């Protein structure tokens, strides 16, 4: 899967070299390329922002460097482009978004905004090159799109076949079936006065499966009732 990232802080994405994502990149399963937006400026100060028309606080990212970097990426597209602009004003990302994106066969481009945002015309221009999504990680505000993009790249990337060693572990985890995951235990069976639930030591697969499902439903009901209501 090909993923491009546009940012003024490429260092945020250094962690993609670590752990499963790093291994998947090394193995050629994930091809992630990070572009510094300032490389697409032409002034001495490598300016990427300016004051907002109409006034107001903060600065807005200028459209010209964005236009150039999007053109450069589009000229090297490997499949239909999907531009994702992380934004607290977007639709909320979820496991079903991650699944749809991982299965889409699209070439993803994460455009990370800073300051008060990106000039609105950039989204209209990107829509002439591919699909555009404004996507929020949740109802809180980060300093920019980088951390949100990292989270989305990991959530999508780990669903690409070969990234996670044991594909079965993807099936049983939280949110895949709309329920939270059941509790897990390992040895020792008794630890500091806490015992592993008896049923898990029984070796009875049917009872274990039933207990785990009951735990999933109960946890979801108490912690995330919103997941059961729709």
Beta bridge partners of 194: 191
| Closer CB to ligand ADE, 115 or 215, in the complex | 115
- Nearest 5°: the CA angle 19, 139, 144 is 60
| Closer CB to ligand ADE, 24 or 152, in the complex | 152
Question: What is the smallest separation between the CB atom of 140 and ligand ADE, expressed in angstroms?
Answer: 5
Question: What is the smallest separation between the CB atom of 111 and ligand ADE, expressed in angstroms?
Answer: 11
| Closer CB to ligand ADE, 53 or 140, in the complex | 140
| Closer CB to ligand ADE, 67 or 88, in the complex | 88
CA dist., res. 98 & res. 152, Å (int): 7
Please name which of 93, 65, 78, 86 lies closest in space to residue 33, comparing C-alpha atoms: 78
Question: What is the smallest separation between the CB atom of 51 and ligand ADE, expressed in angstroms?
Answer: 20
Contacts of 214 (CB under 8 A, 6+ apart): none
Question: What is the smallest separation between the CB atom of 93 and ligand ADE, expressed in angstroms?
Answer: 8
Q: What does the binding site for ligand ADE look like in residue numbers (CB under 6 A)?
A: 86-88, 136-138, 140-142, 144-145, 148
How far apart, in Å, are the Cα atoms of 113 and each of 117, 169, 183, 208? Answer: 5, 34, 38, 47
């Amino acid at each position: 899967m090909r993923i491009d990232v546009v940012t003024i802080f490429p260092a945020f994405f250094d962690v993609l070299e670590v752990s499963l994502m790093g291994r998947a990149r090394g193995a050629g399963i994930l091809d992630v390329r990070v572009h510094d937006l300032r490389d697409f400026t032409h002034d001495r100060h490598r300016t990427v922002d300016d004051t907002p028309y109409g006034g107001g606080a903060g600065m807005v990212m200028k459209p010209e460097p964005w236009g150039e970097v999007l053109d450069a990426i589009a000229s090297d597209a490997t499949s239909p482009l999907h531009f994702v602009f992380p934004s607290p004003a977007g639709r909320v990302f979820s496991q079903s978004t991650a699944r749809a994106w991982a299965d889409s066969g699209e070439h993803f481009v994460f455009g990370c905004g800073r300051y008060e945002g990106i000039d609105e015309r950039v989204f209209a221009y990107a829509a002439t090159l591919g699909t555009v999504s404004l996507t929020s990680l949740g109802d809180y505000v980060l300093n920019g799109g980088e951390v949100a993009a990292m989270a989305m790249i990991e959530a999508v990337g780990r669903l690409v076949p070969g990234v996670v060693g044991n594909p079965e572990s993807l099936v049983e985890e939280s949110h895949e079936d709309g329920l939270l995951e059941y509790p897990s235990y390992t040895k020792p069976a008794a630890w500091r006065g806490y015992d592993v639930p008896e049923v898990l030591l029984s070796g009875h697969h049917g009872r274990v499966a039933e207990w785990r499902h009951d735990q999933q439903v109960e946890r979801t009901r108490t912690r995330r009732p919103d997941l059961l209501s729709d």
